Amino acid sequence: MALESTLAIVLKSFPYGDTSKIARCYTRDFGKLSIIAKGIKTSKTLQSGYLEPMNCLSLNFYYNPKRQLQIFSKAEFSQPLLSLKHDVKKLSYGFAVVELVDRTVTGEEPHAELFHFTEDVLEAMDKSEGHLNRLFWFFEMKLLSLLGFRPHLSNCPHCQGSMESAFFSLGYGELLCGNCSVGTGMQLSQQSVAVLKALKNGSLDNVGDISFGAAERREVGGFLQQYFSFHVEGLSEVRSLRVMESILA
């Protein structure tokens, strides 16, 4: 069993017995790992607070590829998230980010680009002054593209015609132009398609500049949710956002 170190984002953690804790982490070098920190709650040297969701850590652990649970050694914060956990809206979006990573990434296959992007999004949400929703959509679009499910936004995948307004076909799981859709599925206005394109071509620094009204908010949010649930098994909704909506309602 070798002592390894990597960068990690805690996705989920729960108590194990009276004194220990298990955390599911997304790591830069080992993909998704489950780690047990034995006796951490009573230890004077190990700090239990590290293993909480959304924390970005430099993690040391004992690795045995044959075991399902790796053994925690120690950690420190790799980037401090100062406000993310003290604001109910930021907290909910932060939870939604780690929930999506947890539910879409499987196994120990590392993906450094997705890892660093997730870290950067959490950091941007931490510093955000009010465009959490755009940051989350931007995260969803990029995640879809890294998973290989980027939606067609410029040309219809069936007739290659231009996509001014579009329909999301639940039969095909794709956005189609008005001519190819057979009247079923969810319609996206020209403005909503433009918002999706801006998200697709945007960056973390300028995503806050994308503007849209209430109709686009409904359409784009609804489309991304339906698109995820079509392409990712078992993902009918992002639970963390549902919780936030019920708190704020």
Cβ distance to Zn ion smaller for residue 91 or 156:
156
Does 171 interact with Zn ion (rule: CB under 5 A)?
A: no
Does 177 interact with Zn ion (rule: CB under 5 A)?
A: yes
Does 188 interact with Zn ion (rule: CB under 5 A)?
A: no
Structure tokens at 45: 């040297």
Task: Provide the minimum distance between the beta carbon of 149 and Zn ion in the complex, in angstroms, as a whole number.
Answer: 19
User: Contact region for Zn ion (CB under 5 A) — 25-33, 111-119, 174-182, 217-225?
Assistant: 174-182
Task: Provide the minimum distance between the beta carbon of 178 and Zn ion in the complex, in angstroms, as a whole number.
Answer: 8
* Sole binder of Zn ion in the list 161, 164, 215, 247 (CB under 5 A): 161
Does 159 interact with Zn ion (rule: CB under 5 A)?
A: yes
What distances in angstroms separate CA 83 from CA 63, 74, 130, 191, 216, one per listed residue? 33, 24, 13, 33, 29
Count of residues touching Zn ion (by CB under 5 A): 6
Task: Provide the minimum distance between the beta carbon of 103 and Zn ion in the complex, in angstroms, as a whole number.
Answer: 31
Does 193 interact with Zn ion (rule: CB under 5 A)?
A: no
Does 158 interact with Zn ion (rule: CB under 5 A)?
A: yes
Cβ distance to Zn ion smaller for residue 25 or 180:
180
Does 156 interact with Zn ion (rule: CB under 5 A)?
A: yes
Cβ distance to Zn ion smaller for residue 68 or 162:
162
Residues making contact with Zn ion (CB under 5 A): 156, 158-159, 161, 177, 180
